Structures are given as C-alpha cells and as structure tokens.
Amino acid sequence: MKQSYPQMGAARQEASHRVSLKAAAAMATTIALSSSVFAAGGTSEASRPSFLASGETLNVCNSPGFPPLSYFEQAGDAAPIGSDIDLLNALAKQWGVELHLVLGEFAGLLPALESGRCDMVMSGILVTKERQQKFDAVPYMKTSTLLLVAGDNKQINNLEDMSGKTLAVEAGTVLEKIAGEVNQKLVGDGRPEIQIQTYPKAQDCIEQVLVGRSDGTLVQDTEAAFRDKQMPGKLKTVFTVPGDQEFGIYLRKTPGDTDAVKAALGTLKASGFMAALPVKWHLPADATNPHP
C-alpha cells in the first residue's frame, strides 16, 4: 500500500515518516554491501553517536525534493529514494538502529535539528562556515554549483548574463547567497539586478525554467546530471560557479558525535559502499571522495 505525502506549506511544516530497515532492504534503492561492513553485527554500541546512547531509532531531517539524493519516484510513494536514503539506511544498519525520516521543506531542516526534532540533517546541504558556527558538519560528497538554462537558450553564458533576467533558486540555500553576491557586483557596475525567484524545492526551480517563467536556475551538479538523463537536451549547463563544495551531515555540537559519524563513513568507504553510490545514482565517479 502506498502512502501519500502531505502537501507542505510553511518552511518548517514537517511530516514524519518511518522507514523500517526491513522494508528498505526490499526496495530497489538498496545497494548490495560487502559482508565485511557488518561483520560481527556492525558497529559496537560504544561507537555510536551520543544521540543513540539510549534509543533504537535514528531520527534524520530530510527534504525529499532533490534528486538523485532524496526524492519521491512517483507521486504518493510511501518513502523517498536516492543516494542519501541509501547512505542513511546503511548508517542506521551499522549502528543497529531503525531509520526514522522527518520530512520537511529545506529551509526548515536546520531549525528542526536545533529544536531537537531530529538527531541529524542529511539532505544535500552544503557545508559552510556560517552553518558551522552553530552546528557540526561531516562532509560525505563533493559537488559544484551550476547555472542551467533552457536547452535552446543562446544568450546566457554566465551569471552576469542573467542581468535583468529571472533566476529561480531554492529557498534557504547557499544558492540565494551566490545570486545575491552577483547582484551586488551588477549594481556596482551600474547594470540591472537579477530578478531572484525562490521556491521550496530544487525541482520547482527546474520546472520554472522548463515552462519559461525563469531564464535560468542555480542547481548542484548532482541534480543537473539527473535531469540531463531524465530529459536530454531540455536543459544545458552554461556556467560552473568556482570553488570547492561538499554536502555534509549536520549535527548538534556534542563532543564525540562527529568522530562517530566519520568512523561509520570510514567503514562504509572501506567496504566499497561509498564507491558504489555514484555508479548506481549516476553521480560523478569521485563524488563520494570529499576534498582533503
């Protein structure tokens, strides 16, 4: 039986959805893992993060509108799929707990973590110095920001070419900041600003470009690769924003928790699990090797 996903309005509105490991194992999202990963029953309880010390559930805040990391394959599906979901299931299994996803809009994820509604956030969220002032972050995947336009667009080749045009960006993301910085430069040069339109999900931004309401959108390379495979020729990348970027798992600042998460990721990397994720989800081959 499929479970419908409730419509979410405000950024902090959330819907909890429990995904049992037993059910997840039967889903097509599951990657076959090396038997060495879970030898002797997986990670010992002593090496668990502190938020699992007295519980058997891993509560993770996630926004399922960011393919191929986390998304619903069909409207009304009971649970999201994606590389993030596969990795979360693997972490939960390694720690010997059940995964519980707390689903909500992207802009509400870190506030939900701060308020204690979840133990950690994993949802294609970039690691930034600003966010690390309040939370700890463990990188797990490399990425880059791209400017996408319609496949037949011949006028736009970089962000400054967006002057006076409309740009769709996901609300609450670093992408808003990138667009704002470009606008500052345009104003300084006496040129019209970019008209920035914000939407709850990355897929909403893609749709605005496809229907012609926006001239372009900023997305991560992971989403761009997914869309290119899904709809070849409909969109094209015209510019890559300079700089190294990484997606991170966000945690409250508690001594020992980042070390526990890093250790678990290290075990998954040694088993070959991390190298298998890009293959399955059509990501760059070295995506799961974070920057030094």
Of 225, 240, 255, the position where a domain reaches its end is 240
- In this model, does residue 10 exceed pLDDT 80? no
User: Does 224 lie in the same domain as 158?
Assistant: yes
Q: Which of 35-44, 49-58, 142-151 has the highest mean pLDDT?
A: 142-151
Residue 7 lies in a domain: no
Q: Give the number of domains in the chain.
A: 2
Residue 150 lies in a domain: yes
CA distances (Å), origin 237, targets 18, 68, 114, 154, 221 = 37, 17, 35, 12, 9
**What count of other Cβ atoms lies within 10 Å of the Cβ of residue 143?**
22
**Measured distance CA(123)–CA(213) in Å, rounded:** 27
**Measured distance CA(280)–CA(61) in Å, rounded:** 23
CA distances (Å), origin 263, targets 33, 157, 269 = 17, 42, 10
Residue 120 lies in a domain: yes
Output the pLDDT for position 45. 53
Residue 288 lies in a domain: no
Residue 290: pLDDT band (50, 70, 90) is confident
Least confident of 13-22, 35-44, 72-81, 157-166: 13-22
Q: Are 82 and 70 in contact (CB under 8 A)?
A: yes
User: Does 233 lie in the same domain as 159?
Assistant: yes
User: Does 52 lie in the same domain as 82?
Assistant: yes
Residue 69 lies in a domain: yes
Summarised one tens digit per residue, pLDDT across range 202-247 is 889 999 999 999 999 999 999 998 898 889 999 999 999 998 899 9
Residue 57 lies in a domain: yes
User: Does 256 lie in the same domain as 208?
Assistant: no
User: Does 229 lie in the same domain as 274?
Assistant: no
Residue 18: pLDDT band (50, 70, 90) is very low
Residue percentage of the chain with pLDDT more than 70:
84
User: Does 205 lie in the same domain as 269?
Assistant: no
Q: How large is the C-alpha radius of gyration of the chain?
A: 19
Paired strand residues for 170: 199
Question: Pairing between strand 166-170 and 145-150?
Answer: unpaired
Residue with tokens 């094209």: 236
**Measured distance CA(84)–CA(263) in Å, rounded:** 17
User: What is the rounded average pLDDT of the residues 86-95?
Assistant: 97
Mean pLDDT of the chain: 85
CATH code for position 230: 3.40.190.10
User: Does 136 lie in the same domain as 157?
Assistant: no
Output the pLDDT for position 246. 96
- What domain range includes position 127? 14-143+245-281
User: Does 162 lie in the same domain as 53?
Assistant: no
User: Does 202 lie in the same domain as 59?
Assistant: no
pTM for this predicted structure: 0.78
User: Does 251 lie in the same domain as 236?
Assistant: no
Residue 75: pLDDT band (50, 70, 90) is confident
User: Does 91 lie in the same domain as 59?
Assistant: yes
Residue 201 lies in a domain: yes
User: Does 24 lie in the same domain as 115?
Assistant: yes
Q: Are 179 and 160 in contact (CB under 8 A)?
A: no
CA atoms within 13 A on the CB side of 275: 6
User: What is the rounded average pLDDT of the residues 64-88?
Assistant: 94
Residue 60 lies in a domain: yes
DSSP string, 229-248: HHSTTTEEEEEE--S-EEEE
Q: List all residues 6 or more positions away from 148 whose beta carbon is below 8 Å from its beta carbon.
A: 206, 209, 216, 217, 218, 219, 224, 227, 235, 236, 237, 238
